[in-house]
Amino acid sequence: MTNDTHDPTRRSWVERSNSADTDFPIQNLPLGVFRRRGSGDVPGVGVAIGDQILDLRAARKLGLLDGLSPALADAAAASTLNGLMALGQLESSHLRHLLMRILDADGRLAEPQSLVAMDHAELLVPAAIGDYTDFYSSIFHATRVGALFRPENPLAANYKYVPIAYHGRSSSIVPSGTPIKRPRGQLKGPDDAPRVGPSERLDYEVEVGFFAGAANVLGEPLTLAEAEDRIFGLCIVNDWSARDIQVWESQPLGPFLSKNFATTVSPWVVTREALAPFRCPAFTRPPGDPPPLPYLSSPANEGAGGFDVRVEVSLRSAAMQRAGLAPFGVSRASLRDMYWTFAQMAAHHTSNGCNLRPGDLVASGTISGPGHGAEGCLLEMTRGGADPIELPTGEKRTFLADGDEVIMRAYCERAGYARIGFGECRGVIS
């Protein structure tokens, strides 16, 4: 539900946060982890506000967090977001309301010494991620990719019943801006005998992920309502993929080395409360599709289980960078078009008794929409390499070349509310 923290007329004493083009107005207040660039300091929790970061460890020393419970104040001054995530939605809401009072233009409870300029900060992975699960929740993506390999039967029989996922590798999750080294692996040859070499079909996948909040007990599944309550906040995810390694290794157990070499996340976590004005109905299933099974169905989820988060992907080649050209827009899509909601993913994830823990990352899978220009990866957009895209320099791409930079952005807009953004998720192929 919306409340006074979503009031679009609120302004902050941090002037840049009041600009119409900012991702981080006072109505957003996403959380992240940072340290001063080049300092070697212990990382700390920060809040994005305009072009600044409110340092919560410094704020605590200044007495600005005195209204919080000791557990919440300790978590806010920690070096990861895991402690805040573990405390649950009510405590994170208390923090959000206090931050509003600290940063509100009418209150001005903090001074500039509690701020760090964003361009002077090193932004880190926001949580110690114990486990990472990547879903496959876009029916548009699944259908297009399935048609490339199984034109007579693009979707598996289980797709409309089961939220499909695989377990990823948390150790190779990196923050935005980290260079991505082209992976090597087994590549299928013309006679089915493999060779080992660098991937020649390197791809991105634009996704949105959620960080899990308070844990469920091992052996105790979450209901759909409980699963919704475990969504702490959202970020952008780029689940890099080596398609040629993937096609050779994926039978029968799915992707392995083609995925675990790197996953990039944006540094700011937009909380579920900040996203309240941008909730939307779950995906409307076409006539003839089966309804979700009872444990994946509820009126609340059907009415407002989705998030209307819009994602954009841009590409800039090394030649474009040298020429000073702006990134080239490749695609736009929306999380609202996913076949399964995040609550359904979490409920299914725990339906066998699996325990989600604070800081676990659960990603949506490639976000694709129904039309051309809404494809969430190059495999879809170029139809497996058959239809290259052309960049402003005249260069053509079927898959990523060395020196290419992929830039992902996400934001929410709705009449009557302030626009909020997620920042950027970037990576350059090296």
Bridge partners for 135 per DSSP: 165
Compute the chain's Rg from CA coordinates: 21
Which residues are catalytic, by number? 141
DSSP 8: T
The single-letter code of the amino acid at 425 is C
Q: Which segments of 205-334 are extended strands (E)?
A: 206-212, 231-238, 241-242, 263-265, 270-271, 279-280, 306-307, 310-316, 328-334
Separation between Cα atoms, residue 378 and residue 393, nearest integer Å:
18
Judge if the upstream peptide bond of residue 252 is cis by omega within 30 degrees of 0. Answer: yes
How far does CA 46 lie from the centroid of its chain?
18
Residue length of the chain: 430
Separation between Cα atoms, residue 63 and residue 361, nearest integer Å:
32
Separation between Cα atoms, residue 339 and residue 333, nearest integer Å:
14
Other CB atoms within 10 Å distance of the CB of residue 80: 20
Q: Longest Cα pair distance anywhere in the chain, in angstroms?
A: 72
Bridge partners for 51 per DSSP: none
DSSP 95: H
Separation between Cα atoms, residue 30 and residue 268, nearest integer Å:
6
Contacts of 194 (CB under 8 A, 6+ apart): 186, 187, 188, 248
CB 102 within 8 A of CB 41: no
Residue 108 CB-half CA count within 13 A: 7
How far does CA 425 lie from the centroid of its chain?
9
